Amino acid sequence: MPGTPPHPAGHGPADLPSEWGGEQGPVKLQEPLEELARDPTRFSHDLSFPPPAKIRVYDDTLRDGEQMPGVAITPKDKYELARMLSDIGVHIMDVGFPSVSEGERETLRLVLGGRKRGEIRPDLEVVCMMRSTKGDIDATMRVIDGLGFKRDEVTYFIFTSASDLHVKYKLGKTLLHRDGIPESEWLELPVSYYREANLRMMCEAIGYAREQGATSIEFGGEDGSRADVDYIREIHREGLKAGGTRPSTPDTVGCYSPFAVREYIPAIKAAAPDAPLVVHFHNDLGLGAWNTVMALGSGAEVFTTSVNGIGERTGNAPMHQVLMQLRYLFGIEIPGFKYEKLRTLARHLEKVSGIPVQPTEPGIGLDVFSHESGIHTAGMLIHPAIYQFLPPNDFGAEITYVYGKHSGALAIEHALRDAGIRPEAELVAKVLSEVKRIREERAERSDFSEFHRQYYEHLNTMGLTADEVVEIATALLPKPSA
């Protein structure tokens, strides 16, 4: 329904903190700010969001985020991230595939142990991923048994595929083997066979997990954004009948548009209206966050994100962007979420992942509360709302000024006054001239080629190259007999 939700408490335009203007403070506006500048939430829309207390933030950094090429995070670092995610207010956390590696198993052990000791919130839901096979389910449960935890202490995410492209051409041979059909039939059998066999495989896996002690089971099909919506609806209905508890639909290749989300998510939700719906968007077109917000306004209650948006290709819907769009455009604040720690979390992930955040990244970038332009700094010193509507203290940040070729006299006066120096006009003019001269000289001497080389060398050597793989294989080949 059309609506203009109010600003979150303490975050309306008239509630700008006085420290925004520095020591001198901004000028006192003679009219209410909301009369001088339109409230960003004042627009009509037909979205209907769940109550904020029912929205769930589902973090995928430890699993999907780590799938970014070259990224490898140690179990110890994953545990520290898990503690930070718990502290900031995430509700659900995917810890990966315990069945596939010792590192994944160690991460699960650390996270469950930390939750038991109270270092991680007891209400933080821990998710383990697995394919729709008894083998994956058994392997995961063996890990949980071996760690000394109960099988119902985690959520089992049993996934399959949803698009016909995936169902026939990615899973096709697996489905044939299950039914005892020779591979020679692979390309000849119709899509309808693969759909039915795929659905049967997933439901059998869900039922088996239930029999083995699972009580919380998420399920869904990959490549949902390119799947037939009626088939997704069938997957969700049948999955719930089989014992699943929460359906999930992903935009695996990041091709949804906000218009498609608005059309398809209500239809998908209608197939299982009483179960919470998880949405998972990738960012291939730069729409991951906005699609997530649209989905939450179209029937979904649970949204997956990753810290800093890391993930495969262009990454996942960035946590900070989704939360900012909800908060500042729709007046929706997630209860208990510590927005002011988003920048600290961003810096920590940069350190452990090796992937830097661009300085202009909304909310968390190093420069988003910095100003250099003379026109901008002059306006900011009159009143910060002139060029900034996001309160930096919401993010644990402060407004800063950078001095260079674009600086103006007011910025210099501000710097001198803060240092206790009387900003006489002549002195200000001389300082400003020197600032511009020095910055121009630095620009003349600047050569970023070495920085550029090191940056790309860093990114390109995070993972192993094909040459290194061949070198390893060559070393492992048996030596020819003399």
- On whether both 344 and 373 belong to a single domain, the answer is no
Boundary residue ending a domain (306, 322, 353): 353
- On whether both 385 and 340 belong to a single domain, the answer is no
pLDDT at residue 2, as a whole number: 40
- On whether both 160 and 188 belong to a single domain, the answer is yes
- Find tokens 């403070």 and name the residue: 25
- On whether both 383 and 447 belong to a single domain, the answer is yes
- On whether both 386 and 455 belong to a single domain, the answer is yes
pLDDT at residue 11, as a whole number: 43
- On whether both 189 and 280 belong to a single domain, the answer is yes
In a domain? residue 20: no
Structure-block tokens of residue 81: 């991230």
What is the C-alpha to C-alpha distance for residues 11 and 431, in angstroms, rounded to an integer? 37
> How distant, in Å, are the alpha carbons of 20, 328, 357, 363, 366 from that of 344?
20, 20, 12, 11, 11
Number of Cα atoms under 13 Å in the Cβ half of residue 121? 16
- On whether both 111 and 247 belong to a single domain, the answer is yes
Beta pairing, strands 370-371 & 302-305: unpaired
- On whether both 76 and 101 belong to a single domain, the answer is yes
- On whether both 107 and 238 belong to a single domain, the answer is yes
- On whether both 380 and 285 belong to a single domain, the answer is no
What is the C-alpha to C-alpha distance for residues 219 and 395, in angstroms, rounded to an integer? 34
pLDDT at residue 482, as a whole number: 63
Structural domain for 84, as ranges: 52-353
The tally of domains found in the chain comes to: 2
> Cβ–Cβ contacts within 10 Å for residue 270, how many?
11
pLDDT tens-place string over residues 195-239: 999 999 999 999 999 999 999 999 999 999 999 999 999 999 999
In a domain? residue 110: yes
In a domain? residue 341: yes
3-state SS of the chain is CCCCCCCCCCCCHHHCCHHHHCCCCCCCCCCCHHHHCCCCCCCCCCCCCCCHHHCEEEECCCCCHHHCCCCCCCHHHHHHHHHHHHHHCCCEEECCCCCCCHHHHHHHHHHHHHHHHCCCCCCCEEEEEEECCHHHHHHHHHHHHHCCCCHHHCEEEEEEECCHHHHHHCCHHHHHHHCCCCHHHCCCCCHHHHHHHHHHHHHHHHHHHHHCCCCCEEEEEECHHHCCHHHHHHHHHHHHHHCCCEEEEEECCCCCCHHHHHHHHHHHHHHCCCCCCEEEEECCCCCHHHHHHHHHCCCCCEEEEEHHHCCCCCCECEHHHHHHHHHHHHCCCCCCCCHHHHHHHHHHHHHHHCCCCCCCCCCCCCCCCEECCHHHHHHHHHCHHHCCCCCHHHHCCCCEECCCCCCCHHHHHHHHHHCCCCCCHHHHHHHHHHHHHHHHHHHHHCCCHHHHHHHHHHHHCCCCCHHHHHHHHHHHCCCCCC
- Supply the CATH number for residue 335's domain: 3.20.20.70
Angle (CA) 188 191 197, round 5°:
105
317 near 304, Cβ under 8 Å? yes
In a domain? residue 23: no
pLDDT at residue 17, as a whole number: 41
In a domain? residue 358: no
> How distant, in Å, are the alpha carbons of 221, 289, 290, 361 from that of 321?
25, 6, 8, 9
- On whether both 307 and 394 belong to a single domain, the answer is no
Boundary residue ending a domain (353, 386, 413): 353
Boundary residue ending a domain (353, 379, 404): 353
Beta bridge partners of 94: 127
In a domain? residue 44: no
In a domain? residue 345: yes
What is the C-alpha to C-alpha distance for residues 47 and 3, in angstroms, rounded to an integer? 9
- On whether both 198 and 339 belong to a single domain, the answer is yes
In a domain? residue 402: yes
What is the C-alpha to C-alpha distance for residues 379 and 90, in angstroms, rounded to an integer? 37
* CA-closest candidate to residue 366, choices 338, 381, 346, 351: 346
198 near 159, Cβ under 8 Å? no
pLDDT lower than 70: segments of the chain: 1-25, 482
pTM tops 0.85, yes or no: yes
Amino acid at 204: E
* CA-closest candidate to residue 223, choices 284, 294, 309: 284
Amino acid at 391: P
pLDDT at residue 408, as a whole number: 87
What is the C-alpha to C-alpha distance for residues 353 and 458, in angstroms, rounded to an integer? 12
- Find tokens 């452990």 and name the residue: 352
pLDDT at residue 418, as a whole number: 87
What is the C-alpha to C-alpha distance for residues 127 and 302, in angstroms, rounded to an integer? 13
